[in-house]
């Protein structure tokens, strides 16, 4: 593929950025969830 | 989805539910389809050749950023206008803005990579690029304002005003290519004449990207909004504990006189 570095790099930036954000956010949410009683979680 | 707590006695619930599992699974399938169509099945463009494949992640990222900032503004307006002043709207606004900043950031980076191939430079102070960067910085500022001190309702009020002002930049960004002589190409799909300038597999691949990224946005915003509920609950518990401690101290001092 012509310009493969730029094309694949753009997919890596987008999907990698979203994956890192999602992993960080969900792992923090899990840590917080352990310290909050279920009564304060309207979705449970 | 249940997690064992640190003590390992009572199971606690995190931010995942059946709804988030469904959206997460659909988003993952959508992203896999996007990679297959964007990188393999869609044809190269006559003019831009292989670099057109960047469009399948660049345009959906920009769309989700616009959507996220729009949701932030609507939720902010609902917080301010409704008599209940429910913090649920404020948390939705905050969650959506954070995800919008993420998608706007990757839009800028992928735009720079595409620009290097199309124009020969990573960046130029073109109207569309400059206004997009300005929109990004505006909502970064919005996130900073949310972290200022004060009560949760003070946070909600000041950030809501900023969100409703910031969202006014979106039409300016979108129509900048028509308002000024821009290096950036005109809209490919969201055109005024309603006739997309793409056909066949390329248009289909772009729509796969738009749907996949919209599903990703919904999944992320549900999780982030629930994480904000947890953060606010911990703040409340911390404040309650501090008040109890302060009252106990005051009672001790009063008893000692």
Has residue B132 been placed in a domain?
A: yes
Has residue B242 been placed in a domain?
A: no
Has residue B158 been placed in a domain?
A: yes
Q: How is B88-105 classified by DSSP, letter by letter?
A: HHHHHHHHHHHHHHHHHH
pLDDT at position B7 is: 42
Instruction: Check CB contact under 8 Å for B3 and A41.
Output: no
What ipTM, to 2 d.p.? Answer: 0.93
Residue span of the structural domain in which B38 resides: 18-42+51-183+197-237
Asked if residue A32 has pLDDT above 50, the reply is: yes
User: For chain A, percent helix, then strand, then coil, each to nearest 5?
Assistant: 80, 0, 20
Has residue B188 been placed in a domain?
A: no
Chain B residue at shortest CA distance from A25: B224
Instruction: Check CB contact under 8 Å for A10 and B102.
Output: no
**Tokens 């003019």 — which residue?**
B47
Has residue B6 been placed in a domain?
A: no
**Burial environment of residue B4 by CB neighbours within 10 A (0 to 12, 13 to 18, 19 or more):** exposed
| pLDDT tens digits, B161-215 | 999 999 999 999 988 888 887 777 776 666 656 666 677 888 888 999 999 999 9
Contacts of B234 in chain A (CB under 8 A): 32, 35-36
Instruction: Check CB contact under 8 Å for A33 and B38.
Output: no
Considering its fold, how many domains does chain B have in total? 1
Has residue B12 been placed in a domain?
A: no
pLDDT at position B175 is: 87
List C-alpha distances in Å: B241 to A29, A39, B202, B237, B238. Answer: 22, 17, 58, 6, 5
Show which residues on chain A lie within 8 Å of chain B, measured between beta carbons: 1-4, 6-11, 13-15, 17-18, 21-22, 25-26, 28-30, 32-38, 40-44
Instruction: Check CB contact under 8 Å for B3 and A30.
Output: yes
| pLDDT tens digits, B67-117 | 999 999 999 999 999 988 899 999 999 999 999 999 999 999 999 999 999
Helix (H, G, I), strand (E, B) or coil at B193: coil
pLDDT at position B70 is: 97
pLDDT at position B236 is: 83
pLDDT at position B245 is: 80
Asked if residue B4 has pLDDT above 90, the reply is: no
Has residue B9 been placed in a domain?
A: no
Has residue B80 been placed in a domain?
A: yes
């Amino acid at each position: 593929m012509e310009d493969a570095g730029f094309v694949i790099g753009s997919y890596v930036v987008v999907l990698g950025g979203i994956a890192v954000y999602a992993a960080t956010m969900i792992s923090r949410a899990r840590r917080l969830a352990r310290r909050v009683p279920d009564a304060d979680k309207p979705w449970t | 989805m249940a997690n064992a707590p640190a003590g390992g006695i009572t199971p606690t619930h995190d931010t995942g539910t059946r709804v988030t599992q469904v959206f997460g699974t659909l988003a993952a399938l959508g992203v896999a389809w996007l990679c297959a169509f964007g990188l393999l099945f869609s044809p190269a463009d006559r003019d831009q050749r292989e670099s057109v494949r960047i469009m399948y992640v660049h345009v959906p990222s920009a769309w989700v950023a616009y959507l996220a900032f729009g949701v932030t503004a609507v939720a902010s307006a609902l917080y301010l206008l409704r008599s209940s002043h429910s913090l649920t709207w404020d948390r939705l606004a905050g969650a959506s803005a954070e995800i919008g900043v993420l998608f706007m950031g990757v839009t800028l980076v992928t735009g720079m990579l595409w620009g290097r191939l199309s124009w020969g430079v990573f960046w130029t102070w073109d109207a569309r690029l400059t206004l997009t960067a300005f929109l990004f910085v505006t909502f970064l500022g919005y996130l900073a304002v949310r972290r200022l001190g004060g009560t949760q309702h003070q946070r909600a009020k000041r950030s809501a005003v900023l969100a409703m002002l910031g969202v006014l930049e979106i039409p300016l960004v979108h129509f900048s290519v028509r308002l000024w002589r821009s290096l950036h190409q005109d809209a490919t799909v969201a055109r005024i004449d309603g006739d997309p300038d793409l056909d066949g597999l390329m248009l289909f691949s772009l729509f796969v990207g738009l749907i996949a990224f919209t599903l990703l946005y919904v999944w992320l915003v549900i999780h982030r909004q629930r994480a904000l509920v947890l953060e606010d609950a911990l703040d409340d518990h911390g404040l309650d504990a501090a008040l109890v401690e302060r009252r106990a101290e005051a009672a001790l001092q009063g008893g000692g006189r």
